Structure 1
């Protein structure tokens, strides 16, 4: 079976027509099966464009690996491992960007990248099943492609297990800068630049503050926020989205099989489609911005004011809150201390790092049981811990999980502590809620899957919230404050589903439009 099939090769050939300068694929190989696959990959790519050549005599420190290099040597990126699966898009973009095709990023941000001074050698450890890794890899590849002071190698952690063990990597993506830990988890280009270029945050804040007031500000870039912005933009009213990152919780969702009319998709793919749809309209998108305060108008006819943590500010006649939710933590000793050192929240991302090891999944709902099923195909054993006296997942999922020989489910069990050796997780302690006896389970990883908590703390008491922190809304998505609307997982609407969030976002937009018409009248 070929590394990439003919239809994929044909598609790649179309992309490579955008190359503007010659590039070389310099491969460092050994006698492994993966090296043979890499040789096949680069030799499949080269004939697709007259501007691509292959050199199989590389001497990089890792094998298999290959360098994508422009002829002048001033632009290059490296992959240690096969960039397939979620990383195939990273490969395509790396070929294009080293080949002179401009990235689809803000021009000011790209100029900041090109003029960055100093020496920056980035290493990113990824897994092919990680949906967050491509964002990080693509951002760092852009930096390496546009600035000769920056180099980047993307390393498949599953292929270089010895290095993963030596450097104590327990989560992906994990990034090192000049040999020292730089960060772990999803990051985009603007966030990375904010950390290496201290002046970029001030520039972003000034850019925000210079914007004229909007009719509607949508806070949040997930399904609810995207739908709301599209609906308000279609009404012809001045709209902006401000969010930490486009996609929100959707980026952490793997298989989606209940999005009506689409039998199957994945979170990152759906996020890209949403972003493409939003870009069809005349609206502004400000990403990598965390709102710190929302101030209500002091008098009738005045504007709402939103302030960011970077010091920027935006004003609007109406606001739609769609900040979504995040993974809930269990709040026991050891959880925070060992986060990304054995405590994880994304089995799809980090599962491959635990190949052949023993892990626990905390939570017996759909997400917990799905995680146990997925991990069972990678790890040696999964222990599922559920607080309730029975699992809460759908029957079909429970049946599948119980059919697996390397999964054990324990109910009526309260996780009381994550155990470790100060460097990484080595066990979990739980209490039997019936006998009150405590038990220790030896393992190397714990995946927390106990639901979501709304991202509403920053609001304070500006709007009414439920005991769980959800923004209280009525059937029109109106909050307790006229002019402020809310939609999606951050609200009291039941059933936290993508399709419901989109509908609620659309409803909030129509309600905001109606509010503006009446207010202007």
Structure 2
């Protein structure tokens, strides 16, 4: 089941087990059950602290539980094989069940253990989804540390009938108590924040007590991380406010143009960014959204940033690096059928549309790449492009046109998403040449039409372009003294990870240059 490299790697990890664990499987006579039996036997053979049995009585076949032998409540259940992107989740589940400490803050573990009430989670994942492992691992951690929390993690390809019955059309999909509770990527901190109603108030109170910063970075993507590292290396007091550390990189699968790294994945790069920032004395405030900017009245004064939770932070200089988000079509039905056939991540959700008809909206590189990937999974792909021709690289266009199950429609304006109340059934578009409307019967629509800067909260403060981008000069300076900006939220012409990092460094150096020319502050200290 496992190749030699994975077997050797897993054996090393299992040597870290501190106490025995039990694997109990429910299997049948099908091929997936045979694979489950083979995998669990291989795992058990690698450590004398692991036992495997096949007399489970779970309703889902195949499935298996991982239980700490000394504490029967410490258990997590997988329905289907957690391989592919979820192999790491399997390894961590084995380690945590076996007493190996997780690499999370102790405060997070304490919050999990103190969480009141009973919570029965079910989460659906696919083996090609790069956003799923974070949810799978978060729920695993919670189930293994609180006896009142259960987690069943379901591989959609194995339990496809269940996926169809529950209307799951996007992963990760999280159910709580049998009801849809969350869709998309969530960290353990985000899950706890939704469950623990007092967490927001406690965080706001803690943040409001923080002393002013010399540099406050708003945003935790590549630009924000680079800015924070560069200012911290100067020895100045630096803070980072991030709605989601890593930003849109977290949603990117293959990265092959990050110079010096031949190939990586977005979540791996995001983790590397966060770890690099943590190497320095940077105060990172994750899961916090900036909502209002109050510029300093005088040059050298303190700028104020008000957060969505009501807290406010002050700083002598700011670096705005709030990034961008996927642009929506903004047509009737799109919002109503989001995660019910309308999707934005072909890598995550593509396997759920196997054998079905889908459309891809957008003829740039992202759209054409998505259509190529989906063509290997679905029955038919229709690519819909507003312009008179595709805008993707020639090599991608050539590949797309070589595929037998792809139709390309140009000069087409998407006008409506239709559905039956529970799922998408069709896309309506207007032929811009003949001014006629057409309907494409399908089950899925993947939107790939570019980015929108996350700058709505800045309107009326710094100067913005017609597209809503923050206007900056060659030094990353905005229209206001002491406020700099970097990355995809700015007027920089190319939205690329490596360019965002360079822009973040530029903004940080400019902020430092600005600071050293200001009079010394009176009370910018830890105890201010």
TM bucket normalised to smaller: over 0.9
Residue in 2 that maps onto 1:8: 6
TM-score normalised by length of structure 1? 0.97
Residue in 1 that maps onto 2:288: 289
Find out whether 1:191 has 2:176 as its counterpart: no
Residue in 2 that maps onto 1:95: 94
Alpha-carbon displacement from aligned partner over 1:216-238 (angstroms, at most 9, x marks no partner):
11111111111111111111111
Query: In the TM superposition, what are the counterparts of 1:306-325 in structure 2 within 5 Å?
Result: 306-325=305-324
Residue in 1 that maps onto 2:303: 304
Higher alpha-carbon deviation: 424-433 or 246-255: 246-255
Residues in 1 aligned to 2:447 and 2:45: alpha-carbon distance in whole angstroms: 46
TM-score normalised by length of structure 2? 0.96
Residue in 2 that maps onto 1:398: 397
For the residue of structure 2 that corresponds to 1:93, the secondary structure is: helix
Query: In the TM superposition, what are the counterparts of 1:365-514 in structure 2 within 5 Å?
Result: 365-514=364-513
Alpha-carbon displacement from aligned partner over 1:122-160 (angstroms, at most 9, x marks no partner):
000111111111111111111111100000011111211
Residues in 2 aligned to 1:291 and 1:227: alpha-carbon distance in whole angstroms: 19
RMSD between superposed Cα atoms in Å: 1.3
Query: In the TM superposition, what are the counterparts of 1:212-251 in structure 2 within 5 Å?
Result: 212-251=211-250
Shift of 1:266: 1.2
Residues in 2 aligned to 1:481 and 1:14: alpha-carbon distance in whole angstroms: 55
Residues in 2 aligned to 1:101 and 1:213: alpha-carbon distance in whole angstroms: 39
Alpha-carbon displacement from aligned partner over 1:461-518 (angstroms, at most 9, x marks no partner):
2211100000000000011111111111000001111111111111111111111111
Residue in 1 that maps onto 2:524: none
Shift of 1:74: 2.0
Alpha-carbon distance change, 98 to 311 in structure 1, aligned in 2, over 3 angstroms: farther
Shift of 1:102: 2.6
For the residue of structure 2 that corresponds to 1:489, the secondary structure is: coil
Residue in 2 that maps onto 1:19: 17
How many residue pairs end up in the alignment? 519
Find out whether 1:30 has 2:25 as its counterpart: no
Residue in 2 that maps onto 1:117: 116
Residue in 2 that maps onto 1:157: 156
Find out whether 1:57 has 2:55 as its counterpart: yes
**Contact 2:487 2:503 (C-alpha < 8 Å) held by counterparts:** yes
**Contact 2:248 2:325 (C-alpha < 8 Å) held by counterparts:** yes
Residue in 1 that maps onto 2:67: 69
Residues in 2 aligned to 1:337 and 1:211: alpha-carbon distance in whole angstroms: 41
Shift of 1:293: 1.3
Alpha-carbon distance change, 311 to 107 in structure 1, aligned in 2, over 3 angstroms: farther
For the residue of structure 1 that corresponds to 2:25, the secondary structure is: strand
Higher alpha-carbon deviation: 325-334 or 74-83: 74-83
For the residue of structure 2 that corresponds to 1:307, the secondary structure is: strand
Residue in 2 that maps onto 1:42: 40
**Contact 2:299 2:482 (C-alpha < 8 Å) held by counterparts:** no
Structure 2 alignment gaps of length 5 or more: 521-528
Alpha-carbon displacement from aligned partner over 1:161-209 (angstroms, at most 9, x marks no partner):
1111111111111110010110101111121111111011112212212
